[in-house]
A and B are shown apart, each in its own frame.
Chain A
Amino acid sequence: MIGNDGRVPEAVRLWALRLFVMTRKELLQLRRDVPLLLFLLYSFSLSIYVSGAGISMQLNNASLLVHDSDHSESSRELIHRFRQPYFRFDGEVQDQKVGVRRLDQGTAMLLLDIPPRFHESIVGHEPVSVQLLVDTTNAPQGLSAAGYASRIIGEFSFDRVSSRLGGASDGDIRIPRVDSAHRVWFNQDQNETWFQSISHILRMITLFAFLLPAAALVREKEHGTVEQLLVSPVTPLQIMLSKVLAMTLVILAATALAMASVLKPVFDVPVKGSAALFFLMTALYSFTTAGLGLFAATITKNQAQVGMIALLVISPMLLLSGIATPFEAMPPWVQTLMALSPLRYFVDVTYGILLKGVGLELLWDSVLAMVLLGGTLFGLGMWRFRRQLA
C-alpha cells in the first residue's frame, strides 16, 4: 500500500479519512440517544453486579421441612447434618399432610420423614429407611438436592458401620474404603459470582454487538438516509465497516468499564491471562457478532423486523452456547447447530484467558473459528447490501 516515494498514497489516506468520518458520525448519533446510553451504562455496571451477587445455580438454601416421628438422639443428629449452605432447616411439621401442602405452595422444597423407632432400629442392628419428598417442578435443583441428601444419609450410615465394626475389633478399625479427594482448578472455591458475572458480560456483549450495528443500518434504510450516503463519495464497504468499528469501540469501552468497576474491585475476578489478548478477542467477537447483525439488517426493512430476527437468533445463542447449560449434555444436533454460534467459541476463549490463564497456543482453534465465521458473515452481509443498493 505504500507508494514508491515512501508516502501513503492519497487514495488510501482519503479512504481511511472517510471511514473515520463515518465512524465518528455513528458515535455522534449514538451519543444523542440518551436513554440508550444510560441503559448501556446500566447493563455493563449495575446489572452485572446484580447477576453476579444474586444468582447461584448451585443448590443453595434449599428449604427443608422435617417430620420427625422419633425425636431421638439419632434423629436429631441426622437432621443436624442437613445444613448450610445447601439446606436451610425451615422447621418441623407435625403431620406429613401439612408438609406436602407447603411443597404445593412452593414455600418449601424438601420434606424429610423420619420413621418411629428410628433410633431403636439402628441400635438393634435392624435396617431402617428414611423418606425424602422432593419438589421436582424444577428438575435439576430437585435432583441436586436429592443427591446431597443421599450423600448425607450415606455418610451417616457409614459412620454407624464403622463405629459398630470398630467396637467389635478392639479399636483396630480395618475397613476398606475409597475416599474422595477433589481439587478444583481455575476457581478453587467454586466461587459462583465469577462464573455468573463473566457470563453476564458475555450476554450483554452479544446483545449489544448484534443490535447496535443492525439497528443503525436498518434505521438508515428506513429513513431513506442510505440514499443520501450513496450520492456521497463513501462506498458500501465504508458504510458497513464504520458501523462495526463504532459499535465495537463502544462495546470495548463498556467491557473495560465492567471490568474496572465491578469485576476487579467488587468480585475479585482474576485476569490470569493477558488482558490485552482478552480485549483483542472481545473486539474480534464484537466484529463477528456485528457481522451477523448486519446480515440480519440486510434482509429486513425496518427496526421492528430486526428486533424479531434478533430474538430469533440471539436467544438460542444465549441459551444454548454453553453459558446457561453444560454444552456437553446437549443433544448432538444442538451441538452441531451451535458450531455456527460465535458465542460458543468466545465462551471458551473468555474463560480460558480470564480464569485458566491460557493463551493463543491452546485457543487458536476457537479464534480461527471466530475469524472464519466473522469473515463469512461480513462478506455475506456486504454482498447483499451491495445488491440492494445497486
Chain B
Amino acid sequence: MSELPEEVRSWIGEKRYELEGEFDVERGYVFTTCASVENGNPLFWDEKVANDLTDGFIAPPSMISVWFRPHYWAPDRVEQAQPLQVHFDLKDRLGLPEAVMTDNTIVFREPVRPGDRLRTHQVLRSVSEEKTTKLGTGRFWVIDVEYENQRGESVGTESYTGFGYRRKA
C-alpha cells in the first residue's frame, strides 16, 4: 500500500481555489430552471408571496452550483479553476486516471437572491487508504465546496465523495 504523498496531506483542511461567480444571480436562469422541472413554487413567480415569506425573490436552493459554471464561450477567456478543481488535482497527483462521484450532499443556509454575486472555495476533507472495489484500486476522498454571498454569509456547502482509481488490468 503506498503512502499518501505529503503534498496531498498538506491540502487536507486547506482553503483552496477561491473563485467569484462570473455574473450576478439573475431571474432568467431561475425561470428556465423552474420551467425545466415545472416548478410552480410561488416563491419564484409571485412577488407578493416572495415579499411575505422571503423578503423578496430568491433562487431555488438546488441551483447553488449553477452560478459558477463558466459560459460556453467568452472573449479572451483564459483557463480558470473549476468548482471541483481539487478533485482533478487529486487524480493527477495520485496517478488515478479514472474517477466517479459516489455521493453528493448539499446543505443550504442563507437564501440566494437575484443580484447576489457569490464566491466559492474548496476544502479537501479527507483521503482514504488505498481500497479495491469492483471498479479498480484507488482512494476515496471528500471535498467540500463552500459558497458564500457578497456579505460573507454562507449560502451553502456541497460535499462530494469521489473515488479515483486505476482499472483492473
A-B complex is real: no
